[in-house]
Amino acid sequence: MEIINNIEDYKEILRNEIKNDNLVIFPTETVYGIGANALSEEAVKKIFDVKTRACNNPLIVHLKSKDEIEKYAYIEQEIEKKLIDAFIPGPITIILKKKDCIPGCVTASLDTVGIRVPENNIANRFLEIVDYPIAAPSANISSRPSGTKVDDIKDEFEGKVGYIIDGGESQIGLESTVIKVIDGIPTILRPGFITREMIEEVIGICNISKHVLREVENEKVESPGMMYKHYAPKTKCLLVYSKDINTLRELVKDNLINKTIILGSKKLKDIKCYKFIDYGDTLESISHNIFSKLRECDMYHANLIIIEGVEKVGLGLAIMNRLIRTSEFNYIEK
């Protein structure tokens, strides 16, 4: 695998990689993506093979401009247009009715497709250079924490991907908000940096899917990130939360076992354990750090990771959506 630090020196190589149905890892403002030509079934199937990703888990199609959306999907509702105008480009994916040019393997055979236009400069330049719509999930082996910096993911894809574009650490650290207009109301299928409150400021109303904090049962998955286990380190995890600091500390102490890592804010730092790892003290810092810190936890070969939860509002909802799946719904709240 070759790491690219200056994308302009590799324009022809990157163009040919995508044209020839190969994979390229590239940075976005949310997380790193592993991308392929979204119009090629052969290329898209390589993503599923390399990630060991279930074929019923749809991919997001990344475009260089929102002006390209109607090449690949239908904008049928005025609310969809308002969402696009307000939030795209940016860390949001909108689910639209797909056009026939998008293969069924991209969308898990659904008649809809997730469309995203990144606002990261390197991602935008990559999309301009290759001049194809790029199907790209997060750059990680399926169920593992998403990649937010090259050092965390390069070994996973050694020998499987030829090139990875290094854009430094991801600015946000959580995957994009995924939204679909259902019965005329924007509905968040996967929360992210674009929050319910932000959408309500534009549209006036926004629903949250019942599956954001619950597992999907006997239903088709319309958005990435809805699987039971996701974003998980190899070490078993327990997620705990309480608004009351003393109750939270007691929850942590009551569940300590031999070789337990505590992953949380400084208010838990003095609790005696195998290892304390600080994930930050603001929602923004937790969002930025969480996947990298989960990967760091695995380095210590612990028996358990106790993760401090956060309040499920604003960006906190997105963090808890990830952490609940990280812990495989092994969650205590008091």
| Bridge partners (DSSP) listed for residue 276 | 262
Determine the Cα–Cα distance for residues 305 and 68; give it in Å rounded to an integer: 44
Q: Which two tokens stand for residue 150?
A: 């090259």
Confidence (pLDDT) at 226? 62
Q: What is the mean pLDDT of residues 92-96?
A: 98
What does the DSSP assignment read for 15-84?
HHHHHTT--EEE--SSS-EEEEETT-HHHHHHHHHHHT--TTSPPEEE-S-GGGHHHHEE--SHHHHHHH
Instruction: Answer yes or no: do 200 and 242 share one domain.
Output: no
Domain co-membership, 139 together with 19: yes
Give the total number of structural domains in the chain: 2
Query: So what's the pLDDT on residue 225?
Result: 64
Q: What CATH number has the domain bearing residue 173?
A: 3.90.870.10
**Whole-number Å distance between alpha carbons of 309 and 93:** 25
The whole domain housing 289 covers 237-333
Place 17 in a pLDDT band, splitting at 50, 70 and 90: very high
Kindly state whether residues 244 and 204 are assigned to the same domain.
no
- Whether pTM exceeds 0.85: yes
Return d(Cα 53, Cα 135) in angstroms, integer: 14
pLDDT band at 223 (very low <50, low <70, confident <90, very high): confident
pLDDT cut 90: percent of the chain above it: 91
Average pLDDT over residues 292-309: 97
Answer yes or no: do 202 and 255 share one domain: no
Please report whether residue 268 resides in a domain.
Answer: yes
Q: pLDDT digits over 126-177, tens only?
A: 999 999 999 999 999 988 899 999 999 999 999 999 999 999 999 999 999 9
Share above pLDDT 70 across residues of the chain, in percent, rounded to a whole number: 97
- Mean local confidence (pLDDT), 197-208: 97
Is 217 a residue whose pLDDT tops 90?
no
The Cα 256–Cα 272 span in angstroms is 9
Pair 258, 141 in one domain? no
Whether the per-residue pLDDT at 312 is higher than 70: the answer is yes
